[in-house]
Chain A
Amino acid sequence: MTKLLEIKDQLIRFYSKYETYLYPIVKFAVALALFTVINTNIGFMEKISRFPVALLLALVCAILPTSAILWIGAIVVLADMYALSMEVALTALILFAILFFVYFRFAPKDGLTVVLTPLCFKLYIPYVMPVGSSLLRSAYSVIGVVCGTVVYYFLDGIHRNAGALMSAANADEEQSSSKFDISVGQFLGNKEMYLVIVIFVITAIVVYLVRRMEVDNAWTLAIISGALIQVAGLFVGYIVLGVTGKTLWLIVGNIISLLIAFILQFLFMNLDYARTERVQFEDDDYYYYVKAVPKKMVAVREVTVKHFGNTASMGKRIDHSRSVLSPEEEENSRKVIAKELDIDEDLLK
C-alpha cells in the first residue's frame, strides 16, 4: 500500500510539473481515439476517414479547448452521414441541435463526458461513466452521460442499418421517406437504449447519494452499489426485452468498470478511516459536530545532504584550472576531512 501511495504521490508531482504538456497530450489521445472509432464504424466519407486526417484533427484538438473535440467530432459525423445520405445527415443534425438546446445551453463545458461515453460503449465499459461522473462531479452530470448514450445508439443504429440506407439511397429519389424512417425509426424504437438510459440515471443518483452519506467507506459502498444496480437492472431488463448475447459483456464490463472506479477512488478519495477524529465546538450561532477523516498519505522522505571537505567553499566557483593546492589549503582540507570522518589527522598525511 505504501508503494502505491508513493506512486500516486509521484504521479501527482509529475502531473503538476508537466501539466502544460500533459493536458494537450491527453486531449490528443482522446480525440485520436474518437476519430479512429468514428472512421472504423461510420467512416462513409472516404476522404476524411483516413488515419492521417484523424491524426491531423487530433493535433488540432490538442491545441484547442476541450469542447473542440465535441464540435469537430460532430462535424466529422455529419460529413460521414452526408456521404451516406442527405436525409440521414439532416436527421443527425436535428438530433445534435436538440442535444445542444436541451443540455449544452446549460453546461457548455461538459463536452468531454459526452465524448467519453460513446468511446466507453465501444470498449464495452460504459458502466464506468454514470459511476465515475457521480463520484467526481454532481448527480446532474449524468445528463451528459445520457446525451453520450443517445449519440452512441443513434450512430450504432446507422452503422447496423448502413446496408439498408445505402440501398435506399441508390434507389429512386422517392425513397427519401424510407431513409428517414430507417434512421429515426431505428433510433426512437430502440427499447434497449431507453433501458440503458433509465438504469444509468438510477445508478448515477444512487451513487451520488451513497457517496455523500455520513458513513465510513462511503465511496466504496457507492461504487459497489452502482455496479450491482447496473448488473441487476440491465440483466433483468435484457430478459424482459428479449435482448440476447449481452450478459457476458455486461458482467465483464462491470468488473472492469469496478476496477476503474476503485482506481478513481484511490486517486481522488483515499481516506484512512482508522484515524477518524470527532470534535465538537461552538460559536455564537451554532454547535458543530465535526468528523474529520485524514487522507492516506506517505511522509515525504527527508533527504540529508552530507558535505565532506571544506564547506566554506560551498557555493563558490571552483577553479578547476588549479591542480595543486597550497600547503595552507591542503592543511585546512586535511583538518576538515579528519574531523568529518572522526579520524586522526596524521593518517591523511
Chain B
Amino acid sequence: MISEERVKELYHLAAFDEYENKKYYQAGEYTMWDYVGKEIVKSFFSGTIAFILLIVFWGLGDIDTITKWINRVDLTTFVPKLIVAYAGFMIVYLLITARIYCVRYAKSYRKMKAYGNHLKRARRLLREEK
C-alpha cells in the first residue's frame, strides 16, 4: 500500500532535485569561508577588469586632454594616486562580494538542511515500512 506521508517526502526531494539543486548544491560542497573565498578570488579578477575598463572609459571622454596630460605627467605622484584609487575600488567591490555571498550561502545552507530533513524522514518511513 502507498504511504501518503512517504510520497509527500519523496515529492519534496524530487522537487528540490529538479528545480533548486543547481542553485543551492554548493552549500553542501563547501564550508562557508571556502565558498565566499572562492567568490572573492573570482571578484578580484572581475573587479580589476572593471576598474581598468572604468579608467579607459573615463579616458575616452576627453582623449585629447589625456594625450596632452600623459606627455607631462609626473609618474611618481600619479602612480600612488592610481594605486590608492584601485585599492579603494577593490575594497568596496570585495566587501560587497563577501556580503552578498555570505547571505547566499546562509540561504543555500537553510535549503540544504531542509532537504536533508526530508531525506531523513523519507529514509525512516521506508525503514518502517520494511
Contact = CB atoms under 8 A, between A and B. Distances in A.
What is the interface residue range for chain B against chain A? 20 to 34
Contact of A91 (B42, B60, B100): B60
Contacts, number: 47
Contact of B64 (A97, A181, A183): A181
B56 A94 contact: yes
B43 interface: yes
A97 B47 CA distance: 11
A238 B96 CA distance: 33
A101 to B, nearest CB: 4
A177 B66 CA distance: 11
Given A102-B50, A106-B100, A185 B61 contact: yes
Contacts of A183: 60
Interface in B49-80: 49-50, 53-54, 56-58, 60-64, 67
Nearest to A93: B53
A177 B57 CA distance: 13
Interface in A70-98: 91, 94-95, 97-98
Contact of B62 (A91, A94, A106, A181): A181
A185 B61 CA distance: 5
A28 B119 CA distance: 40
Given A98-B50, A105-B46, A181 B63 contact: yes
B57 A181 contact: no
A95 B49 contact: no
A106 B96 contact: yes
A180 interface: yes
A185 B97 contact: no
Contact of A101 (B50, B56, B61, B96): B50
What is the interface residue range for chain A against chain B? 10 to 19
Contacts of A184: 57, 60-61
Interface string B77-100: 000000000000000010011001
A188 interface: yes
Given A95-B57, A105-B43, A177 B49 contact: no
Contacts of B62: 181, 185
B53 A97 contact: yes
Given A105-B43, A184-B57, A177 B63 contact: yes
Nearest to B43: A105
A180 B100 CA distance: 35
A98 B57 CA distance: 9
A91 B93 CA distance: 23
A249 B56 CA distance: 36
A188 B63 contact: no
Contacts of A177: 63-64, 67
A180 B56 contact: no
A101 B49 contact: yes
B69 to A, nearest CB: 14
Contacts of B93: 102
B17 to A, nearest CB: 20
Interface in A151-167: none
Contacts of A101: 46-47, 49-50, 53
Contacts of B43: 105
A94 B47 contact: no
Contact of B57 (A91, A105, A106, A189): A91
Contact of B63 (A105, A106, A180): A180
B76 to A, nearest CB: 28
Interface in A169-195: 177, 180-181, 183-185, 187-189
The 5 A-B pairs with the shortest beta carbon distances in the complex, nearest first, are A101-B50, A184-B61, A180-B60, A177-B63, A184-B60
10 contacts: A91-B60, A97-B49, A98-B50, A105-B46, A177-B64, A183-B60, A184-B57, A185-B62, A188-B58, A189-B61
